[in-house]
Structure 1
Amino acid sequence: MNTARAIRDKLDHARQLLDAGEPTLPELAASTGLSASHLQRRFTARFGLSPAQYLAQRKLGTLRSALREGNDVSAALYEAGYGSPSRVYEGGAARLGMTPARYRAGGEGEQIRWSIATTALGQALVAATERGVCMIELGDDAEVLEAKLREEFPKASLDRVDAGRDDFLAPRLRAVAEALGGKQVSVPVDLIGTAFQKRVWDALMKIPRGETRSYSQLAAELGAPQGARAVASACAHNRVAIVVPCHRVVRSDGSLGGYRWGLPMKQRVLEREQAA
């Protein structure tokens, strides 16, 4: 086994340990045989998140799903792995952007500031509470973007601010715009879903820039040769455009198939990557 493959296997093992529990960085290092600093650097380079960020996103995604399904807040917190209600406010709620109870209630009682920035791929809506970004949405129609925000948080107080005129929102708008422009920046994202969705999204991030795979090819790679529809569903539930490149999955005949942000956007992104 070559060195690069061995490192990838060690990183995959570290991710599996994070999916199964809450190991510390030293524990992950001991389990993989890598130094803590080397593991931190290589894990972040491969998955786009540090081990600690990956764990936080996994727990937050579980919490988010449970709340949207109508589960009791306390039960949802413990199911997601938060040892006590206070733990979610120490880290998770900052990424969720609001308390779990308010998220479940459609953002009731929350003040959400939002704006739309013009990026290399069109318009991007970025919304945030005082504690963090709570939504990123792409599209060419500002009214449609706003409607999606209001659908996500129907009971929140939504305040639109002009781009660049909000000290908290402005840097997040810039980060999203730079990411959509192809730059490597740190943008908080939620890469969490069901176990199968996570496997699909991981596989998507391994498809080289400028290449594509069919839904059936990806399903076969995941050991689910009859799972093309499940792969398509996982792509449709991706809320992080470009970072998780579901645009790189097409139909077996080469046609584009579907795309959460529209086929013109998918075609545009693919052409940009293939040209590069």
Structure 2
Amino acid sequence: MNQPKRIKRAISGWVVLDKPYDMTSTQAVGKVRWLFGAAKAGHAGTLDPLATGILPIALGEATKAVPQVQDGTKIYRFAIKWGSATTTDDAEGEVVATSDIRPERAALEAVLPQFIGTILQRPPIYSALKIDGERAYDLARAGEAVDLPPREIDVDGIELIEHGSEQSVLEVTCGKGTYVRSLARDIAEALGTRGHVSMLHRAAVGPFHDQDAVTIDQLEALALDERDALLKPVSAGFAELPEIRLDAQQATAVRHGNPVLLTGAGAPISLDECWVSFKGEVLATGWVEFGQFKCRRVFN
């Protein structure tokens, strides 16, 4: 007997998922989408299968806010296993080099400032970056030589949480495009030894943090209306952007994608990025130029 087709719902909002170990980001989105019966879903920033932590999942209209969340600051907690480098720069790869050197705490703390600020980083060869249209990890698995040029990344800070002779736990606050696996590899090399990531947890992405997170097990244990109550509004994705509140006439114009002149004593003259609302509802993202708001993305 055929099962009745599940009706897809036009539901919008954010699920701040604590992604479990050994699950891909795509699998996590598929599971959450099914649990909510959502017609549309996406995620803001891939997390490796071996990593746990914050994976913001956008449902419905929230998918239009994914770029803003992806561009937000990230916080990662990670462990460096001292003494061995691997093909993947994490525990999944084969060991390709070893060292007997185990850094002292003082030496590790002394080297960390080298990795703060705008720095050049060579991405891991097992990454999703594309070379001539092919994913780097596909080329690496096929045995082809992969040469990824260094890229500029922004690291706001690195803190040593725990230090041991075999592994150390650190926390990094960084911008988009930072590879923690590369950071661990490079810190070890700067100390004259080898190392790889043995644990990785993402504690924050933009406005979403560990304290906001829910697990798949928790979602599965709830009724559908209780799951819906956990959804964060679409506007939660814009918590780090300026909000401009419009009147009814301005809101009508923006809904049709038209620019509007901002009035009032506190109206901004120029903004690179912002969002506009009417009665708490997200209308559009865009920018302000010569006192006029211009739409980049209109929300239904």
- The normalised TM-score by structure 1 is 0.26
Which one has a bigger Cα radius of gyration?
A: 2
Higher relative contact order (CA 8 A, sep 6+): 2
> Of Structure 1 and Structure 2, which has the larger fraction of its residues in strand?
2
